[in-house]
């Protein structure tokens, strides 16, 4: 029997003339996994699996194909059609149940990865909030070093494009100086999420990109701002040194990688959106807590850093950076 014939037999009662005609002409009768699922309870599905295993023992396959099934004792005949119908039904049902089991397992794996990601990011943000004081102290310490090493260094510098670049270098260095105390936290997050996978390839890729970004930030070397200002001044303010441009390019690449083209949506926002389909109510609440804490972490660090930047600008001889 071919596949369509088996599908017809799966529904047929050979005693019914109409069904017998369908079998004889091999006209397919519609049947679907969705239809079976709609009428079968989980307990019946479990019993059906056992029935399939039992029924299969009395049949053998020809050339290893479903279309070659026949009774173990000989050639399939009209007398064996009721039994063929039963086996065909069970085989189709087994295929449907296997597909449903595979889909359930896949969803469970996706949900487990989502929970692992949310646990890791929540721990990351909680630990990060505890570093605000030490991060602020690190920013203040670096600003004091720059002010003492090159006081008034920008007083006579022209207010041109190069000045804007050196100002950006100073403020970016202070930003990453504040990240210093959180470097172990960034490393732990990268380790926790870099191996996670989902059937959604975009989600897997974005999470792995975030892991790479966290490692890169943790390892980012800060520039020597005073040396760069001195080199710029020595060229009669004609050109900034390559070290200044290289640092800003690295920092700019990090910022660009945290957004998802073409809409420039923040990567983390895309990850959160893609995770929602795998979250239960508890996971969703955890995600919302994490988002709120992360916003609070950034805002508090920015509030603490603003007066430090203003004080450094005055020490360098400019009104603002």
With beta carbons less than 8 A apart as the criterion, state whether 152 and 230 touch: no
SS3 of residue 150 by DSSP: coil
Is pLDDT of 226 > 60? yes
Strand partners, 266: 259
pLDDT tens, 158-171?
A: 999 999 999 999 99
The pLDDT of residue 22: 47
**Closest by CA position to 185, among listed 273, 297, 304:** 297
The pLDDT of residue 76: 46
With beta carbons less than 8 A apart as the criterion, state whether 32 and 93 touch: no
64: left (phi over 0), alpha (psi -120 to 50) or beta: left
Alpha-carbon span 258 to 256, nearest angstrom: 5
pLDDT tens, 169-193?
A: 999 999 999 999 999 999 999 999 9
Output the CA angle 36-56-35, nearest 5 degrees: 5
State the pTM of this model: 0.66
* Long-range contacts formed by 279-283: CB under 8 A, 24+ apart: 279/111, 279/114, 279/118, 280/111, 283/111, 283/114, 283/115, 283/118
pLDDT tens, 116-158?
A: 999 999 999 999 999 999 999 999 999 999 999 999 999 999 9
Alpha-carbon span 179 to 131, nearest angstrom: 9
Kindly list the domain boundaries of the chain, sorted by start residue: 3-104, 130-316
């Amino acid at each position: 029997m071919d596949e369509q014939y088996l599908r017809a037999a799966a529904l047929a009662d050979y005693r019914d003339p109409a069904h017998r005609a369908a079998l004889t002409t091999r006209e397919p009768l519609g049947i679907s996994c969705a239809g079976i699922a709609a009428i079968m309870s989980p307990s019946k599905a479990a019993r059906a699996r056992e029935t399939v295993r039992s029924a299969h023992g009395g049949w053998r396959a020809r050339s290893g194909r479903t279309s070659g099934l026949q009774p173990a004792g000989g050639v399939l005949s009209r007398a064996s059609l009721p039994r063929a119908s039963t086996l065909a039904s069970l085989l189709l049902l087994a295929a449907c149940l296997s597909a449903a089991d595979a889909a359930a397992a896949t969803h469970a794996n996706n949900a487990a990865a989502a929970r692992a990601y949310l646990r890791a990011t929540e721990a990351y943000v909680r630990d990060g909030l505890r570093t605000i004081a030490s991060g602020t102290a690190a920013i203040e310490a670096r600003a004091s070093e720059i002010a003492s090493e090159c006081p008034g260094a920008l007083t006579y510098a022209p207010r041109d494009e190069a000045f804007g670049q050196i100002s950006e270098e100073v403020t970016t260095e202070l930003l990453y100086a504040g990240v210093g105390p959180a470097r172990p936290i960034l490393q732990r997050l990268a380790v926790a999420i870099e191996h996670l996978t989902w059937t959604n390839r975009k989600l897997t890729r974005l999470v792995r990109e975030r892991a790479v970004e966290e490692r890169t930030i943790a390892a980012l070397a800060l520039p020597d701002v005073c040396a760069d200002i001195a080199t710029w001044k020595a060229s009669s303010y004609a050109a900034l040194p390559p070290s200044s441009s290289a640092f800003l390019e690295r920092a700019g690449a990090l910022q660009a990688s945290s957004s998802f083209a073409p809409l420039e949506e923040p990567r983390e926002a895309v990850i959160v959106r893609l995770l929602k389909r795998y979250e239960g109510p508890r996971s969703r609440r955890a995600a919302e807590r994490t988002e709120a804490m992360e916003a609070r972490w950034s805002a508090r660090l920015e509030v603490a850093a603003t007066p430090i930047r203003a004080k450094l600008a005055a020490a360098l001889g400019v009104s603002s950076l």
